[in-house]
Amino acid sequence: MKKAKIVQTIRLFCLLAVISGCQTDNATSPGTTALAKGLTPAYLRCEHLLNPLGIDKTRPRLSWIVESAQRGRKQTAYRILVAGSEENIKADRGDLWDSGKIESDETKYVFYSGTPLNSHTQCYWKVMVWDRYDRASGWSEPAMWTMGLLKPGDWRGRWIGYNTRDLKPEKEAGEEDSSGKPVVDSGKGDKNKLVLPRPAYMRKEFTLEKPVRRAVLYSTALGIYEMHINGHRVGKDYFTPGWTDYDKRIYYNTYDVTGMLRRTDNTIGAIVADGWYSGYIGWGKKRDHYGKQPRLLAQLYLEYTDGSTEVITTDESWRASVGGLLEADFLMGETCDGRRRIAGWDEPGFEQAGWEAVSCFENTKAKLQSYPGPTVQIFSEMQPVKITEPKKDVHVFDMGTNFAGWARLRVKGGKAGDKIVLRYAERLNPDGTIYTKNLRGARATDTYICNGGGEEIWEPRFTYHGFQYVEVTGYPGKPSTDAITGIQITSATPPAGSFECSDEMINKLYRNICQTQRANFIDIPTDCPQRDERLGWTGDAQIYIRTACMNTDTHAFFTKWLADLADAQRADGQFPKVAPVKTAGNDGGPAWADAGIICPWTIYEVYGDKQILQKYYEGMARFIDFCKDRSTEELLPPRKYHCYGDWLNIEADTPKDVIYTCYFAHSTRLMSRIAQALGKDADFQKYSRLFERIKKAFNKAYVDDEGRIKGDTQCCYVMAICFDLLDPDRQDLAAGHLIDDIKSRNWHLSTGFVGTKDLMLALAKIGRNDVAYRLLHNDTFPSWGFSIRHGATSIWERWDGWTPEKGFHKPGMNSFAHYSFGAVGDWMFRTIGGIDTDGPGFKKIIIRPQPGGRLHWAKTSYNSINGKIATAWKIHDGTLSLNVTIPANTTATVYVPAVSAEDVTESGRPAAKSRYVKFIRMEDKAAVYEIGSGDYTFISRDFAGSSIKQ
């Protein structure tokens, strides 16, 4: 009888649950079938990377996300297991670390706290989490990392090199002297001649006496290198070990090469080219910035099945020569003579007669560290969309888009000695020939000399170009489309964002933004991929960094570059124009030097990484002191200082003293927030007071009673509004002046790099997204749409890089792949998509799409540090539908455009009555709700009445 009553009670409870609608959000109570699914830990990362090799931090940080198909799911505890073998992790044995159950909702940056880790250690790990009902998930899929070389003494190899620079010169690369030995121009004599030494080939044979359980290769170079084992290239990375200040820091790469070794006889080899170390960098045809002779350092760590170990290193036993590569330089290009390719040089049994002993060098004083970021890799391959012949036997391949990389050549029917020349360009001249004037001193030419006899395939490995068009000359016969394949490269930052809307021009704009980011994220954030520059400009980086973070996961990428920036900081605290510092100077000036504050803050803001603030806090504090010390007593600019101004504006020069003071104030305010985030209360108060003093000085010196700022440019008002520099009684007046200036230009912008960064955000802040949408939709000069209307497949450096009236701008500075003006992507995510963070790391999320302009729908997503956030809105017959996805373990504040809350439903019921939806208030013609994680569908029935200045 008692049992029957219990069953009856359960049935009644279930019936009430159905009536109340609880089943629609799949979240009733513990023990139900829906809840049994709970949370799932996924996407495990170590130091921001997936399964990284060679970590050199003794307490690496571990991160994951939690996923759930249900609403309102939160992690309340976790347990981490770390094991030294796959067998142990599969058996749930954490022999290196078992954290036990830790009561916490944290899913990122958990420090490894187990047995101290040694060099070479393999670490396999997984995580289990608990939900709010104290139910454990299953274990995640295992992930792994390996430790690198933790102590300087772990490096046993010697730096080796081979001097190819002093080979006997000849009249033309590729010819032979009387002995038949290939030689190149050494550059001696004529100072205008290019010095293009041949890459060095180095090799060593060794024999294994017993079975190998594991083999790990650690390698680096002064220059760029490519390792080979037994006839195969090691890894899929390019331009390793990356660009650093080689006098201070050199990175090494780690590869598991177990599967590449043979049972007995083996060969390890390398090709080493100049790269950034001794090749041409920047303008002026200058090279040898760090040294003249590239070098290699490598060691192969072997673990045998019997438990013993052995290390094979670079040393005096290696032999060296040259091969088919006659030239290899980033700016100038690569030349290969197919007749001189050395078959089998990297395999056992190769006859190495004539190969010479390598030179050995002393160790450098620079730090040797594991590469912390994503390496440069192939992103995609593409086929030409068209071939033209503007001149006889001159064939131009149109690849369909502007990108960074090179062309793979396929040639059939070539005779020995036929020379095929590939030249690269972003645009075409009116006669259909390639436009190369904007390349300045970059030769950007690859050459292949045929071996003859059948089909030959070749592609460069130690150079890259920025291009959409490839000019091919010397090709035997008429080439078909398969003669050229475009190889697109980029630093392998994982995709994070997506955007699509009802306006195809805006979709093209977003694609162009992403395309240009890929083309310029080549180990460092460069300004352009085509001309003789390709430097890590600090101003460009700070202008674009937030957009970059929304497009891809750039956490590890900027972790690497911020170390370059710190290495480049001057002793007096000033940050440079570029990092690493070469060609351009070390005095960044306003809006450029401020990258030293803005970039670390943005990484913290997007990824919640407090360690990045801790690491660079002292350097940031020195920068603020530098700015303060060089300013006047009134905290205004000194008599002399460097400043680029609002770079590449349209006839609207903003006074440099205004930019100086605005950015001094902005960085100081960010510094106060950084101090607050780190719990440095005294510093927080100090920097807050300093900001108020700068703000007061700014208003006194540059703002009149009518809210008009000195210079009266759009950039002036944008900075003042976004940086909160205006007194309340002048804010609205200044906003009016900004709108008046835009209107006076027939609703067009005039801003350069500095002003464009925040222009759309300033308009959003003053409630004038109607004007922002108008600028976005423009396709007349100057605008984003103007370049697209004229065929742009990337973001141009200048608004007037090309115009119908004037043609190409002066070639001295006219890149067609330059991401700065692509910073509008930030506004697109925040305003069209409505995705933003409320505090660091998207733990609390803001969803506030603000439809406008000619858009009828938009879909936006972002894979945040905590998981996927997505919005999709559509307007039909005055009704707005808004789909929202919030990742587990987070919450969001959602702003639904509406006349009143009564007009808003969620999943078919009044929004305020839906589970995990809490109505907060009406604000600026939007109903504001707090929601938990999960999927939601809001309907605003009277959206047309809520629209502001549509």
Decide the pairing of beta strands 844-847 and 891-897. parallel
Using a 10 angstrom Cβ sphere, with 0-12 exposed, 13-18 middle and 19 or more buried, the burial of residue 374 is buried
Record the tokens describing residue 629, joined without a space: 């010390």
Distance, in Å, from the CA atom of 63 to the CA atom of 608, rounded to the nearest integer, reads: 12
Task: Please name which of 529, 534, 521 lies closest in space to residue 578, comparing C-alpha atoms.
Answer: 534
Record the tokens describing residue 857, joined without a space: 């729908």
On whether the CB atoms of residues 858 and 833 are closer than 8 A, the answer is yes
Record the tokens describing residue 92, joined without a space: 């749930």
Query: Is residue 671 within a helix (H) or strand (E), and if so which, with residue range?
Result: helix 656-677
DSSP labels for 748-783? -----HHHHHHHHHHHHHTT-HHHHHHHHH--SSSS
Q: Quick count: other Cβ atoms within 10 Å of Cβ 767?
A: 13
Record the tokens describing residue 446, joined without a space: 């690859």
Single out the catalytic residue among 533, 633, 906, 930. Answer: 533
Distance, in Å, from the CA atom of 308 to the CA atom of 466, rounded to the nearest integer, reads: 49
Residue 15 phi/psi, 5° resolution?
A: -65, -45
- Give residue 417's region: left, alpha or beta (phi > 0; psi -120 to 50): left
- Give residue 897's region: left, alpha or beta (phi > 0; psi -120 to 50): beta
Distance, in Å, from the CA atom of 57 to the CA atom of 147, rounded to the nearest integer, reads: 8
Non-local (6+) Cβ contacts of 132 within 8 A are 73, 74, 76
Q: At what angle do helices 595-607 and 555-568 cross, to 10 degrees?
A: 160
Distance, in Å, from the CA atom of 38 to the CA atom of 74, rounded to the nearest integer, reads: 9
Residue 929 phi/psi, 5° resolution?
A: -130, 150
Distance, in Å, from the CA atom of 936 to the CA atom of 872, rounded to the nearest integer, reads: 10
Record the tokens describing residue 301, joined without a space: 């760590």
Known catalytic residue at 533? yes
The reply to whether omega before 169 is within 30° of 0 (cis) is no
Single out the catalytic residue among 67, 327, 797, 906. Answer: 797
Known catalytic residue at 389? no
Residue 44 phi/psi, 5° resolution?
A: -75, 135
Residues labelled catalytic: 533, 797
